[in-house]
Amino acid sequence: MQSHDEIARALRRLSPARLLIDLRDAAPAGRHDAAFEHGGREARKRLVRGFEPVAFLMRTSAGRLQVQRLLREDDIDGRAFLDESEALAWLDSL
C-alpha cells in the first residue's frame, strides 16, 4: 500500500521517542474478514517498526477491541485506548 509506505518513511524521518496513533476520526474499514486483515498485517508492522511500544487512540470500545486483537495477532507491542490522557500516561511510564 503506497500510502502506508509514505507514512512509514515520514515517521522514520521524525524518529519520535514514542508514538501515539490517533484513529478517532478514521473511517471504518467496512471489512473485517481474514483476507482483508491479513493483507494489512505487513503495512501495520511497517508503520510501527522501530517505535514499539505504540499507543492507539480509538473512538469506540468496539474499535479498541479490534485494534487490541490486531496488535495481539500481529505481535505488535502496543495498546489501544479510548482516553488520550491514559494513552500518554502509559507511554510516559515506559
- DSSP letter string, 35-50: HHHHHHHHHHHHHHTT
pLDDT at 67 over 80: yes
Q: Encode pLDDT of 33-58 as tens digits.
A: 777 777 778 888 888 887 778 999 99
pLDDT at 17 over 70: no
Torsion region of 75: left, alpha or beta (phi above 0 gives left; psi -120 to 50 gives alpha): left
Spatial separation of the C-alpha atoms in residues 22 and 81, rounded to whole Å: 10
Q: What is the pLDDT of residue 84?
A: 96
- The number of residues making up the chain comes to 94
Q: pTM for the whole thing?
A: 0.78
